[in-house]
Amino acid sequence: MTGLNGKQILLGITGGIAAYKAVELVRLLKKAGAGVDVAMTDAALRFVGKTTFEVLSENPVITDLWEDSHGSVAHIDAAARCDAAVIAPATANCIAKLAQGMADDALTTTFLAVTAPIMICPSMNTHMYENIRVQRNLDLLEKDGVYILDPDAGDLACKTVGPGRLPDPWFIADRIIRMLCPKDFAGRQVLVSAGPTLEPIDPVRYVSNHSSGKMGYAIAKAAEMRGAAVTLVTGPVCLDPPVGVDTICVQTCQEMADAMLSKMDGADIIIQVAAVADFRPDRQETLKIKKISDQDRMTLTMVQNPDILQQMGEKKRQDQFLVGFAAETHDLAANAVKKIQKKNLDMIAANLVGVRDSGFKADTNQVTVFMKDGSQTDIPLMDKKAVAHILLDTILTRLKRTS
């Protein structure tokens, strides 16, 4: 699952200053492909008008149980049709009512009728949030299976500093997507590498490649969404670390080798997506190499880097599943199959590089998967996020078959 296509989200908004962030949240949920129903309390309406939410959600907003709904019961319909329900922001009052099963307004009545997964995003003054009665209510809700998204800490509108701030809308949307993902990787430890390595020549120059990290980050994120505990070892890229993923930043091949090999023992599945530089300058100058005006050439001697994947293939235990990637400009199948054998892999995902829409930098990728038993599957050109889920599906099928 890469977004919220075809999903229906019920968004409850209660009366906190952070209600304005719910406007952006509705926009993001719609952008991710969801249909959105909004329910607001009277207090929320004092912060943001319902017209804004009606326009953005393209649905009437539930504020009153007694409004004429032309024969249907609007709040029950919204509760019944949602795939997930979220309250953002959730005040202490609303949390208390939900914890006790009270239904004295349109929002709490609607939420009491929800059978889909519910997420609560508390947002309030720090002292209120830390109050034992609020914490007790949150514990009660959590025990009932409600997912509580912890507030951020920082400067609050009430001039206090501490936990209580509603997280950014993109983060809430991300966690809603996760809540709806099947947790078929729960209990599994996944180690992924991504991005290029960067091999310094001197303090200002280096040898590297075009890897953007998009493919590896998509795999790390997809595994986290599906319930795995994920460690990502990443070369230098311009992407934000994926939420919920333990991210280790490295620069050189040697640093990546140290990080991957030290984390390997604790992993069930290892996916080496990084574009590791095969060679590095034989020495790293400590001072910037100066340009000499009458010299129009310079020679750089390169030495071979360790092959991290091959080292992992040598160390691999029977119960570990090792996946490599192959970046090829030609003879994709022959080269990929050679690498499976040479590096003792269970699977390799081969992609053509140096073409548009696939391989380095692109948002999309066209991958052919080769397994060590000789089977081969072509995945058509698609978004790297979708490719990531298909690769994880393939790995899971294999693991289930062999366990």
- Using CB under 6 A, which residues numbered 138 to 197 contact ligand PMT? none
In the complex, minimum distance from the CB of residue 232 to ligand PMT, in angstroms, rounded to a whole number: 12
Pairing of the two strands 199-202 and 205-207:
antiparallel
Q: Which of the stretches 32-40, 65-73, 90-98, 318-326 binds ligand PMT when contact is defined by CB under 6 A?
A: 318-326
| Number of other residues whose CB lies within 10 A of the CB of residue 87 | 28
146 with 119: CB under 8 angstroms? yes
The reply on whether position 272 binds ligand PMT by CB under 6 A is: yes
In the complex, minimum distance from the CB of residue 196 to ligand PMT, in angstroms, rounded to a whole number: 7
Q: Which of 138, 176, 201, 274 binds ligand PMT (CB under 6 A)?
A: 274
The residue among 242 and 359 lying less far from ligand PMT, judged by its C-beta, is 359
The reply on whether position 212 binds ligand PMT by CB under 6 A is: yes
Q: Which of 82, 94, 121, 158 is catalytic?
A: 158
The reply on whether position 207 binds ligand PMT by CB under 6 A is: no
Half-sphere exposure of 358 (CA within 13 A, CB side): 20
Q: Which of 275, 337, 386, 391 binds ligand PMT (CB under 6 A)?
A: 275
Give start and end residues of each alpha helix (H) in 118-168.
126-130, 132-143
* DSSP state for residue 18 in the 8-state scheme: G
In the complex, minimum distance from the CB of residue 373 to ligand PMT, in angstroms, rounded to a whole number: 19
Q: Which of 305, 369, 388, 398 binds ligand PMT (CB under 6 A)?
A: 305
Assign 379 to helix, strand or coil: strand
Q: Which of 185, 321, 360, 370 binds ligand PMT (CB under 6 A)?
A: 360
Helices (H) and strands (E) counted in the chain, each on its own, are: 14, 19
Structure tokens at 288: 């910037």
In the complex, minimum distance from the CB of residue 374 to ligand PMT, in angstroms, rounded to a whole number: 19
Q: At what angle do helices 384-402 and 214-225 cross, to 10 degrees?
A: 50
Assign 35 to helix, strand or coil: strand
Measured CA to CA, the distance from residue 137 to residue 13 in angstroms comes to 18
The residue among 113 and 371 lying less far from ligand PMT, judged by its C-beta, is 371
In the complex, minimum distance from the CB of residue 388 to ligand PMT, in angstroms, rounded to a whole number: 10
- Using CB under 6 A, which residues numbered 54 to 73 contact ligand PMT? none
**23-52 as b/e, with b when 16 or more CB fall inside 10 Å?**
eebbebbbebebbbbbbbbebbbebbebee
Interface map 214-253 toward ligand PMT (x if CB under 6 A): xxx------------------------------------x
Measured CA to CA, the distance from residue 179 to residue 126 in angstroms comes to 26
158 is catalytic: yes
Catalytic residues: 158
Contact residues toward ligand PMT (CB under 6 A) are 211-216, 253, 272-276, 278, 305, 307-309, 324-327, 339, 351, 353, 359-361
